[in-house]
């Protein structure tokens, strides 16, 4: 049996969401039609508004509905430190630690030659122009500790190495409160390689 065409296309539309398979999509569609039509209308309106109005910050490239995002527009931020991240959600994660008051640059991904994602797709040409003469003293490479994230960090470090800027990589390793015996070998190797002196 198949559903009527509109129900079917609603189910298929939900499948554009990450992690939503056919069953979940079906549940969402029926939930909305049976029990929450108001919520469905609100969802569709908000979705449309967000998609039409959320663009990219012209400086750090994160998602923003203004030309400059709130962080780039904040004159109290330390402009000598630039943290480079893969996604806007990563910005949020670092902001929530409360431990960083510098600027950000969001790559919206990582280098991935297999998928045809090169330096220009990540805005690295824009990044280099911005860094040039901007008084940046430290670049913190906070891409993910994946093969692609590491490769991206190394590529950026290579590009800026002659600019007289300190380039650092965030440390990866043992989780706070964790125990060594439960940490996987790759993570432990990273933690060892990134060790720092205690005194």
Sign for the pseudo-dihedral over CA of 83, 157, 55, 38: negative
Q: Does 28 bind Zn ion (CB under 5 A)?
A: no
CA distance 1 to 7: 13
Least Å distance between CB 70 and Zn ion? 8
Give the nearest distance from C-beta 106 to Zn ion in angstroms. 8
Output the six-digit token pair for 158. Answer: 């290579």
Q: Minimum CB separation from Zn ion for residue 142, in Å?
A: 15
Q: Are 161 and 167 in contact (CB under 8 A)?
A: yes
Instruction: Give the interface segment with Zn ion, choosing from 9-17, 70-78, 133-141, 149-157 (CB under 5 A).
Output: 70-78
The answer to whether residues 194 and 172 touch, using CB atoms and an 8 Å cutoff, is yes
Identify which of residues 60 and 141 has a Cβ nearer to Zn ion in the complex: 60
Work out which of 10, 11, 28, 72 binds Zn ion, going by CB under 5 A.
72
* Residue linked to tokens 């280098």: 111
70/132 with CB nearer Zn ion: 70
* CB nearer to Zn ion: pick between 88 and 149: 88
Query: What x-and-dash track marks residues 40-69 binding Zn ion by CB under 5 A?
Result: -----------------x-xx--------x
Instruction: Phi first, then psi: give them for residue 64, nearest 5 degrees.
Output: -160, 145
Binding status of residue 82 toward Zn ion by CB under 5 A: no
Smallest separation (angstroms) from Zn ion to the CB of 83:
12
Q: What are the C-alpha distances in Å from 179 to residues 63, 169, 173, 184, 193?
A: 37, 23, 11, 11, 18
Would you say 57 or 160 has its CB closer to Zn ion? 57
Q: Is 84 in the site for Zn ion (CB under 5 A)?
A: no
Smaller CB distance to Zn ion: residue 11 or 57? Answer: 57
Nearer to Zn ion by Cβ, of 87 and 112: the residue is: 87
In angstroms, the CA 59 to CA 27 distance is 41
Q: Which two structure tokens, joined as six digits, stand for 146? A: 């994946």
How many residues are given for the chain?
Answer: 199
Binding site for Zn ion (CB under 5 A): 57, 59-60, 69, 72
């Amino acid at each position: 049996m198949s559903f009527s065409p509109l129900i079917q296309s609603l189910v298929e539309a939900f499948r554009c969401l990450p992690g939503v398979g056919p069953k979940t999509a079906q549940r969402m569609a029926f939930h909305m039609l049976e029990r929450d039509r108001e919520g469905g209308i609100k969802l569709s309106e908000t979705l449309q508004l967000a998609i039409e109005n959320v663009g990219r910050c012209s400086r750090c490239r994160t998602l923003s509905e203004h030309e400059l995002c709130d962080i780039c527009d904040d004159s109290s931020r330390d402009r000598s430190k630039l943290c480079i991240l893969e996604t806007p959600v990563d910005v949020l994660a670092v902001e929530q630690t409360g431990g960083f008051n510098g600027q950000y640059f969001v790559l919206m991904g990582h280098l991935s030659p297999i998928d045809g994602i090169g330096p220009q797709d990540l805005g690295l040409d824009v990044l280099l122009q911005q860094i040039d003469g901007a008084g940046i003293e430290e670049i913190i490479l906070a891409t993910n500790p994946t093969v692609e994230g590491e490769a991206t960090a190394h590529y950026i470090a290579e590009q800026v190495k002659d600019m007289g800027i300190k380039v650092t990589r965030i440390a990866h390793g043992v989780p706070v409160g964790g125990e060594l015996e439960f940490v996987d070998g790759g993570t432990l190797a990273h933690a060892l390689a990134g060790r720092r002196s205690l005194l």
